[in-house]
Amino acid sequence: MRKSVLAMILISLVSSAVAQKKKKNEKTEPAKQEVVAQPQPVKTEPAPKKDSVPPVNPLIRHYAIKYQIAIQWNDPEAAKDALYDLIIENQANDSLIYELAYYYYQNQKYPSAVLVSQELLKRNPKNAAALEVSAVGYENLGVFDRALQSYESLYLLQNNPNVLYKMAFLQMRLKRYKESGTSADILLTDKSIDTLKVSYSSADNKTKEYPMKAALLNLKGMISQEQGDKIGAKKFYEQALAQAADFPLAKENLSKLK
């Protein structure tokens, strides 16, 4: 998983405890009042300061270490149990809930990934990480309209070409051809996509990376073909193959068109 999950969890828990202690002190501290000057007392050695950082609950530390070890030893079930224990003890901690959503995503348990991500989005609709888990989860479940909604919200937050690329293909799948074409056109005029790659599998099930531009031109061809414009479709397929001569989808679509 991501680096130093245990440290991240412990820091989050300590920070939360410090914030709570600070808030409590702010509430109980009496208001300052003007006082009359008094004779100065004889100076004495100040008492040693107590540690201002509250200790982490030993039980929580136990669950955090259990989670880290379970990840290290590739025991996803034990890791999941430790996460649930941590969440029960810290139900307001969004970072822990996201870790659970990500766990379900990594293990391809998409229904649970979606449900957990939706809990985070109830708390904060602009949580980009939760939106991404939600979008990928819905997409893998075949709920393409909900996947598109999540990607659209994510794109508004990040303006990421990879997100718009996913949107274009989902719009095509949902037969929203005009929107799909517009998304593809925006990307094709974006110079940043010249360096971006996408992965596709060939007939022998070997995965290879191809220029994103080739995939977008192929998409434009598919849109034209769906709308009955075979001449336009042929043009876009040929342009896609000019970007990547072995791009399998464009080759297949062009052969079917003839």
pLDDT at 110: 98
What is the CA 165 to chain-centroid distance, rounded? 16
Q: Locate 154 and state its tokens.
A: 């994510």
pLDDT at 206: 82
Q: What is the pLDDT of residue 246?
A: 93
pLDDT number for residue 175 = 97
Residue numbers in the chain where pLDDT is lower than 70: 1-54, 56, 203
- Looking from the CA of 40 toward its CB, the CA atoms found within 13 Å total 3
What is the DSSP pairing of strand 207-211 with strand 197-201?
Answer: antiparallel
Q: What is the pTM of this model?
A: 0.77
Q: What is the mean pLDDT of the chain?
A: 85
**Angle between helix 177-188 and 212-226 (nearest 10):** 150
Q: pLDDT (tens digit, 9 = 90+) per residue, 12-62?
A: 655 555 455 445 454 444 444 444 444 454 455 555 555 555 576 888 899
Instruction: State how far the Cα of 131 lies from the Cα of 163, in Å rounded to an integer.
Output: 11
Long-range contacts of 128-136 (CB under 8 A, 24+ apart): 128/154, 128/157, 128/158, 129/98, 129/102, 130/98, 130/101, 131/157, 133/98, 133/101, 133/102, 133/105, 135/166, 136/105, 136/110
Per-residue pLDDT, 205: 77
Rounded Cα distance, 73 and 79, in Å: 10
User: What is the rounded distance in angstroms from the CA atom of residue 88 to the CA atom of residue 59?
Assistant: 12
Report the first-to-last Cα separation within the chain, whole angstroms: 48
The 10 Å CB-count burial string (b at 16+, else e) for 48-66 is eeeeeeeebeeebeebbeb
Task: Say how far apart CA 230 and CA 125 lie, in whole Å.
Answer: 42
Query: Domains plus CATH for the chain?
Result: 174-258 (1.25.40)
